[in-house]
Amino acid sequence: MLKNKNILVAAIICLCLSNGNTVFGKNFGVVLSKIPNSNQAALPQNKNAVANFERGANLQTQGDLKGAEAAFRKAIELEPKFIQAYIALGNTLDDQGKLQEAIAQYNKAISLDPKYPQAHFHLGNALYDQGKLQEAIAQYNQAISFHPKYADAHYYLGNALYAQGKPTEAVAEYTAAIAFNPKNSAAYNALGNALYAQGQLEEAIAQYKKAISFAPKYADAHYNLASALYAQGKPTEAIAEYTQAIRLDPKHAQAYTGLANAMDDQGKPQEAIAHYKKAISLVPNDAYAYYNLGVTLGRQGQLEEAIFNFKKARELFQAEENKEMLEQVDQLIQKLTQ
């Protein structure tokens, strides 16, 4: 949205939407139960192995990752074909940032049962975390081929497709995830993002509201709803949702920036400046927050501070190799220093 006020003519840049992936699918523990209508390995008969597995699961829940790792390794030692233990060990290693070791455990589980859907799913997650989207997609598709109603796999396949810039394909997967788990708030939120990317704002808003109906404290869904409302030219409604996102997550830097944008639209530059500064205090390397702050300061005639923020934004845009924004910032700095 272009702003035309005295000294500075520049666009406030809106931030991207928030996916909120951790709400669903990523860190599900492996339990000794079956996914309905799917291929699952038989549970081990060794009671000591099962006891160690359950101990590991409890320790992981308590945040004792080293203890959990030891317990899962003991379960595998006692029962070398304990597929669930390999997956659980992989998840624990993943939580410790040991992705390559985690991948080795998931592959071991797959070698024991190539049709075990959870093994493919968790391997897909690890590959996704490594930025290997195509390989992750292959694993999610494998999981789905062995268990077509695997909602988690459909959801994360949607995320990978969305990350590849394929919102149409992502919409199909999020829709499937919702069909198989109709109360999943993260899937509605992600579907909203994919629809937003296609310019379907009304449809996106409906999905964000659905996400909130199942998870009223879902800060990212409130933030995304606010962003869609802002894009529709409804700053008052957007402000209410940005404010709610911040209330639920006081460290939501994107929400502070969005709130600042909306406040600036409503002719409240001082409040906007305060919110931009709060966003920067939370995420000091957010180039767009510095840029937007510079725009608002420039309009208020605070040229020295505006130039300072533009220069900071320029450094960050340069590090990101964002040539388009670099050019825009350079033009603004030149205009203010004439």
Pick the range with the lowest mean pLDDT from 37-46, 115-124, 140-149, 327-336.
37-46
Residue with tokens 């449809």: 203
Beta-bridged to residue 10, according to DSSP, are 3
- Between 151-163 and 185-197, two packed helices, what is the crossing angle to 10 degrees? 30
Which of these, 305, 298, 327, lies nearest to 7 by C-alpha position?
298
CA distance 305 to 286: 17
- What is the mean predicted confidence (pLDDT) over 73-82? 96
- What is the mean predicted confidence (pLDDT) over 299-325? 96
pLDDT of residue 20: 53
Please determine, for residue 129, whether its predicted confidence score (pLDDT) is greater than 80.
yes
pLDDT of residue 98: 96
Percentage of residues in the chain with pLDDT exceeding 90?
Answer: 85
Please determine, for residue 313, whether its predicted confidence score (pLDDT) is greater than 50.
yes
pLDDT of residue 317: 96
- What is the mean predicted confidence (pLDDT) over 230-255? 97
Which tokens in the block code for residue 152? 């988690």
Distance of CA 189 to CAs 28, 30, 214, 269, Å? 19, 25, 11, 31
pTM: 0.86
Please answer whether residues 286 and 279 qualify as being in contact, where contact means their C-beta atoms are separated by less than 8 angstroms.
yes
- What is the mean predicted confidence (pLDDT) over 56-70? 96
Beta-bridged to residue 2, according to DSSP, are 11
Domains of the chain (ranges, CATH numbers): 2-252 (1.25.40.10)
Which tokens in the block code for residue 143? 């999981």
pLDDT of residue 3: 33
CA distance 224 to 230: 10
Q: Give residue 135's identity as a one-letter amino acid code.
A: E
Give the pLDDT confidence of 22-39 residue by residue, as tens digits: 333 344 444 443 344 445
